Structure formats: structure tokens, C-alpha cells
Amino acid sequence: MELDEVTISRAILATQMETMVEYLDLDVAVVGGGPSGITCAALLAEKGVKVGLFEKKLSIGGGMWGGGMMFPRIVVQAEAKRILDRFGIASKEFEPGYHVAKSVEAVSKLTAAACTAGAEFFNLIAVEDVVIKGDGRLAGLVVNWSPVEMAGLHIDPLTIRCKAVVDASGHDATIAHMVAKKGGDLPIRGEGFMWADRAEGNILEHTREVFPGLFVCGMAANAVAGECRMGPIFGGMLLSGERAADLAAAAVLHP
């Protein structure tokens, strides 16, 4: 078989453009491809929700890739081990209640599971604004290529319409800040100091709908609530993604 460069280019453009046009309308937009966002997208897709995950960086995985200080291992507490098991992520008990997994395997298997379930990933896309109309509900995202944002180019964005948004953007709580900055009734207290036990213990309480149509999970949830950070223990991230999927699915499937 003789390969044709233009056919290769046409294949990439045609198939991705078709997907992007299809996903201008979706049920749930997950912003941020870290552990909570990937988990949320995977479980939403399993429930039959049309979900797209938007990540501003080239790679999916957020802080999980580097484990703790570039040692590619993560720790998950006993309550969250079932999430590792559900996605086929191998782990080893280090001490009672502390389970260690390989960060690269964790990211890879979570991402693969989300793809298999039907979630669509859109990397290198940054969210620069939100859509809120007369009913006061978050109804869409304004997006552009991340390199456009990085270069400071003046290029108009495009718009995604959705029924709900999950802010899984990590410490920055990007979407929550956008809503608050534009006058939305959304107080943001900011991330607290390091206290793993408190941060992990309270994250599910903070994983909730914080503005009509906007759910927060992972470190974005703790940042909005003024909660502590937890470092390289990721059980709370996984459990928060699971809870956000349940909440968002209920909102769009049974409004």
C-alpha cells in the first residue's frame, strides 16, 4: 500500500471536524482532565450521558502523572480502593488503609475507560467565558484553542451548548471564577493550607451544584468551599468525580 500524505491529513480533519460539530450540543461539559474530571466523564458516559471533556493542556491526567514530587506513585485510602478496582487499576497495600498505585497506569486506564464508555476528549482547548442567559442558568462554554490564549492572539472563540457543566479544573476552579467574576452569585473562598485528612474527609460534601447548571468536583470543589489541599493522595479526587457524575446525570436525565 502506498501512503498518501494528503489522505492522512484529510482523514484527521474530516473525522475530528465531524466530532466537533456533533459536540457543539451536548449534555454535560466537563472542564479539566485531571483524575476527578476523567472519572466523572467516564461514569457519565456509562450512564448514557453525552459528555465532552475539555482540557487546555496537550495531555490528559492533570497532576496524577507526576505522583508526588515526580515519583510516579499515588496513594488511595481504603474507601476509594473500589474505584481503582472498578477501572482495573492495580494497587498494593502499603499499610492498613493506604493503597499505592502507579500513576501512569491510573491515568491511562481511567482515560481508556472514559473513551470506551463514549466520552469525547477535546484537548488543547481553553474555556475563556461562559454562557448565561435570561433564566440565569449556565448553558454553555465559550472556547478557543489554548495556543491562541497562550500567544495572546485576538481570535474570536466558538461556543458549546450544554445542559450542565462540571468544573474539574483543579486548584484554579476556572469556571467557578468566571461565573463569579461576571456577577454570578457564587462566593469563592479559595484553597486552604495542606491538611490531607480534612481535605479528603470533606471533599464529597463540597462536590455539589454551586450555581444553576454548574457542578464542582476535585480540587475545584475544595477551592470554592475554602477547604484544605491534600497532596498526592487521590482517593478523594476519584470519589468526588463519581459523585459529580451522579449529580450531573440526575440533573440532565431527570430534570
State the binding site for glycine.
229
- Rounded Cα distance between 232 and 1, Å, is 48
Place of cell 451544584: 209
Element (H, E) at 48: none
Contact of 65 with 72, CB cutoff 8 Å: yes
**Which residues are annotated binding-site positions for NAD(+)?**
36, 55-56, 63, 127, 154-156, 219
How far apart are alpha carbons 15 and 70 in whole angstroms? 36
Collapse the DSSP code of 166 into the 3-class scheme (helix H, G, I; strand E, B; otherwise coil) and give the result. strand
Cα separation, 62 vs 39, whole angstroms = 12
The total of other beta-carbon atoms located within 10 Å of residue 231's CB is 15
Which whole-number Å values give the CA distances from 12 to 7, 8, 145, 198, in the listed order?
Answer: 9, 6, 17, 46
